[in-house]
């Protein structure tokens, strides 16, 4: 992939997308696959904000049944299956254990059973996956005794049993977002990270005809013209509209913060969920030999650019977990190895509590407000992003005067994910790459898919680039691949979004320095730039002290 903004020649596009999170990436892929000329600009790195702040789940939204949002649950369950099909190396069924107890009505066994039956009914097509290993069974119930045999750390007090059901886990949401970007590029889309929209362009009729984009790496500004502009700014969508309207901001979005922490291993093979006395849910997720805990749902007031994970937010999450889960010593703040989070854009403002706010999305034609040729997409969730893009294209079809092809995004695998049988693919990859450990190939084959051979060719070119850096067998060659082929431009891009080297927390000064040296060589950084990148990355990996 190449940053088109560096060599932009003034070409006019059919569609220009602002925002490179999962929504923008999915819209770019759908539009390009229909034969439209597409450009996408992202002010940070692809998927660096909300799309990387997930619980790593691809799920139907079981809790939305309580608010009677059956349509949203059905859409989510259908899209869960679609993502299993089109991204087989990233999305996997995993068992969930939802404990039942006596504290609240929503914890009562009969109440949970009703929800599980509905969930099974709404996912009636869960067995129709392209790869049989992705098929999901119906739920079952187990008594308290069996719960504690399987997951001994589940809190005993008041425990009556658990429902076992399946949803899906995304192995690497940041790379899954990137794969949507790559799929768009495969169909001719032009994309660029670190390209910030600073103004909108208008014709004499005051119709939007493009945007002024500043390349944050070169500080050059370009006028990128398009027939239609689509605002996929997520938590920044109202701010982008404010630029178009010449206002400081548009008061349209509510924002909810969600944070996650990674600690030592607390559970075995199940994702364990429970309900707090306030009626909220949280999950403990087995994650690469550790436990991933989240998420929170708390309204955030202020600029999304100023938001950060705080010590207070982390402690509130730990207090919730310690109160509602575990037969172990309370999790201490010092046990947190890494914390991350982000802001969710919400479109509904009728509810007082953002936890109760719908995760539905809206596609808004800004022509109603005098901004012709501008569409804004708000809300939604990761699981339904592909279908959201399909709905966006229905609006685009009405707005753009050009023939468009049919939707193909649910019928073909994403770029690099062209794998019919995951078990056979992993087995073959291990057999063909015996000069690397089976564990390393098992992991790398999943995150690179059919691009594995290209990445390993770099590792074989220099023994130093094949050095294992963690228990998953990740290696410096991945940093080279990220810069040359995946548009990584900072050290954080490499260790947090192209690889998993930093996603369990700081891997240590030696590893960070080694990767920084590799990236510096590829991007021709001087020593001052490398020191700056190292300092910024270490700060990003620190658990907040305030």
Share of the chain above pLDDT 90, in %: 89
Compute the distance between CA of residue 60 and CA of residue 96 in angstroms, rounded to an integer.
12
Q: How far apart are CA 349 and CA 425, in angstroms?
A: 47
Query: What is the crossing angle of helices 452-461 and 438-448, to 10°?
Result: 130
Of residues 231, 276, 274, 235, the one with CA closest to residue 253:
235
pLDDT of 355 higher than 50: no
Whether pLDDT at 82 is above 80: yes
Integer angstrom CA distances of residue 127 from 120, 166, 284, 452: 11, 12, 26, 29
Q: What is the mean pLDDT of the chain?
A: 94
- Alpha-carbon gap, residue 252 to 272, rounded angstroms: 35
Asked whether the beta carbons of 233 and 364 are under 8 A apart, the reply is no
Q: In this structure, what is the dihedral angle of CA atoms 425, 428, 429, 431, given to the nearest 10 degrees? A: 160
pLDDT computed for residue 254 by the predictor: 86
Q: What is the pLDDT of residue 246?
A: 86
> φ and ψ at 388, to 5 degrees?
-60, -45
Dihedral sign from CA coordinates of 179, 181, 183, 186: negative
Q: CA-to-CA distance for 337 and 328, rounded, in angstroms? A: 18
Asked if 355 and 55 count as a contact pair (C-beta separation under 8 A), the reply is: no
Which one, of 485, 479, 486, lies nearest residue 533 by Cα?
Answer: 479
**How many C-alpha atoms does 64 have within 13 Å on its Cβ side?**
19
Collapsing DSSP to helix, strand or coil, 379 comes out as strand
Fold of 422-541: Helicase, Ruva Protein; domain 3 (1.10.8)
pLDDT at 104: 75
pLDDT, mean of residues 155-161: 92
pLDDT band (50, 70, 90) for residue 350 = very low
Does 166 have pLDDT greater than 70? yes
The CB-side HSE value for 172 (13 A sphere, CA atoms) comes to 26
Confidence of residue 380 (pLDDT cuts 50, 70, 90): confident
Query: Which residue, chain included where needed, has tokens 């680039």?
Result: 465
The predicted-structure confidence for 395-422, as pLDDT tens digits, reads as follows 999 999 899 999 999 999 999 999 999 9
- Residue 246 in tokens: 């010449």
Query: According to the model, what pLDDT value does residue 437 have?
Result: 97
* C-beta of residue 467 within 8 angstroms of C-beta of residue 482: no
Confidence of residue 354 (pLDDT cuts 50, 70, 90): very low
Provide the pLDDT for residue 279. 75
139 pLDDT more than 50: yes
Q: In which element (H, E) is residue 161 found?
A: strand 161-170
Could you tell me which residue, 481 or 329, shows the higher pLDDT? 481
User: Is 18 in contact with 24 (CB distance < 8 Å)?
Assistant: yes
Q: Is the pLDDT of residue 393 over 90?
A: yes
Mean pLDDT of 22-27: 98
Dist. CA 27–CA 507, nearest whole Å: 35
Closest CA to 357 of 297, 301, 274: 297
Which CATH homologous superfamily contains domain 4-50+174-252+360-399? Answer: FAD/NAD(P)-binding domain (3.50.50.60)
Closest CA to 520 of 491, 482, 478: 491
Rounded CA-CA distance 165/141 in Å is: 9
Beta strands in 63-183 (DSSP E): 91-100, 140-143, 161-170
Place of tokens 């403002």: 349
Which pLDDT does position 327 carry in this prediction?
80
Per-residue pLDDT reduced to its tens digit, 189-207: 999 999 999 999 999 999 9
Our measurement of the distance from residue 179's CA atom to the centroid of its chain's CA atoms, rounded to an integer in Å, reads 11
Higher-pLDDT residue of 353 and 6 is 6
Dmax (CA) for the chain in angstroms is 73
- Element of type H or E holding 271: strand 271-275
| Distance in angstroms (rounded) separating the CA atoms of residues 39 and 37 | 7
| CA 385 – CA 380 distance, rounded (Å) | 7
Q: Helix (H, G, I), strand (E, B), or coil: what is residue 171?
A: coil
What is the model's pLDDT at position 357?
46
**Over pLDDT 70: what percentage of the chain?**
97
Helix (H) or strand (E) holding 211: strand 208-215
pTM for this predicted structure: 0.96
Domain residue ranges in the chain: 4-50+174-252+360-399, 86-170+254-356, 422-541
Under the banding of pLDDT at 50, 70 and 90, the label for residue 329 is confident
Residue 50 tokens, joined: 């909300």
Across residues 113-122, what is the average pLDDT?
96
In terms of pLDDT, which residue wins out, 353 or 248? Answer: 248
Q: Which two tokens stand for residue 380?
A: 């939604």
Compute the residue count for the chain.
546
The predicted structure's pLDDT at residue 349: 52
If you average pLDDT over residues 74-79, what whole number do you get?
97
- pLDDT tens for 490-516 read 999 999 999 999 999 999 999 999 999
Closest residue by Cα to residue 389 from 3, 40, 4? 40
Query: φ, ψ for residue 496 (rounded to 5)?
Result: -110, -25
Does the domain at 86-170+254-356 match CATH 1.10.1740.10? Answer given as no
| CA gap 470, 468 in Å, rounded | 6
How does pLDDT run across 216-255, given as a tens digit for each residue? 999 999 999 999 999 999 999 999 999 999 876 555 688 9
CB–CB of 94/46 below 8 Å? no
């Amino acid at each position: 992939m190449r940053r088109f903004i560096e060599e932009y020649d003034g070409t006019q596009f059919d569609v220009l997308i602002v925002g490179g999170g999962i929504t923008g990436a999915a819209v770019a892929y759908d539009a390009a696959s229909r034969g439209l000329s597409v450009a996408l600009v992202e002010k940070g790195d692809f998927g660096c904000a909300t799309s990387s702040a997930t619980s790593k789940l691809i799920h139907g939204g079981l809790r939305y049944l309580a608010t009677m949002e059956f349509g949203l649950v059905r859409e989510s369950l259908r899209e869960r299956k679609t993502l299993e099909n089109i991204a087989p190396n990233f999305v996997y069924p995993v068992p969930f254990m939802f404990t039942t107890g006596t504290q609240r009505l929503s914890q009562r066994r009969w109440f949970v059973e009703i929800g599980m039956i509905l969930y099974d009914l709404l996912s009636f097509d869960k067995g129709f996956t392209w790869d049989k290993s992705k098929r999901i069974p119906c739920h079952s119930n187990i008594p308290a005794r069996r719960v504690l045999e399987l997951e001994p750390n589940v809190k005993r007090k008041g425990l009556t049993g658990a429902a076992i059901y399946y949803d899906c886990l995304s192995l690497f949401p940041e790379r899954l977002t990137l794969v949507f970007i790559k799929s768009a590029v495969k169909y001719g889309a032009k994309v660029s990270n670190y390209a910030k929209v600073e103004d909108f362009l208008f014709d004499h009729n005051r119709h939007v005809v493009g945007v002024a984009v500043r390349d944050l790496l070169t500080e050059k500004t370009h006028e990128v013209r398009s027939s239609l502009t689509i605002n996929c700014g997520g938590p920044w969508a109202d701010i982008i509209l404010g630029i178009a309207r010449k206002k400081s901001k548009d008061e349209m979005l509510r924002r909810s913060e969600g944070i996650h922490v990674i600690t030592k291993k607390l559970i075995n093979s199940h994702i364990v969920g429970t309900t707090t006395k306030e009626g909220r849910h949280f999950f403990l997720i087995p994650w690469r030999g550790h436990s991933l805990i989240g998420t929170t749902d708390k309204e955030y007031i202020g600029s999304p650019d100023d938001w950060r994970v705080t010590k207070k937010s982390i402690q509130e999450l730990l207090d919730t977990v310690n109160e509602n889960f575990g037969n172990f010593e309370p999790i201490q703040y010092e046990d947190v190895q890494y914390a991350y989070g982000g802001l969710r854009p919400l479109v509904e403002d009728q509810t007082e509590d953002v936890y109760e706010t719908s995760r539905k999305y809206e596609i808004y034609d800004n022509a109603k407000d005098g901004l012709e040729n501008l569409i804004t997409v708000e809300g939604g969730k990761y699981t339904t992003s592909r279908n959201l893009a399909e709905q966006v294209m229905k609006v685009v079809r009405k707005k753009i005067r050009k023939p468009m092809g049919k939707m193909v995004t649910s019928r073909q695998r994403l770029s690099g994910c062209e794998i019919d049988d995951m078990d056979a693919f992993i087995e073959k990859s291990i057999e063909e790459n015996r000069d690397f450990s089976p564990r390393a190939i098992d992991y790398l084959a999943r995150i690179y898919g059919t691009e594995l051979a290209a990445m390993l060719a770099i590792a074989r070119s220099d023994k130093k680039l094949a050095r294992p850096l963690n228990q998953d067998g990740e290696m410096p060659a991945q940093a080279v691949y990220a810069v040359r082929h995946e548009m990584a431009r900072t050290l954080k891009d490499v260790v947090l979004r192209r690889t998993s080297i930093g996603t369990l927390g700081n891997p240590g000064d030696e590893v960070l320095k080694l990767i920084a040296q590799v990236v510096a060589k590829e991007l021709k950084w001087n020593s001052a730039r490398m020191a700056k990148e190292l300092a910024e990355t270490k700060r990003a990996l620190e658990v907040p002290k305030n």
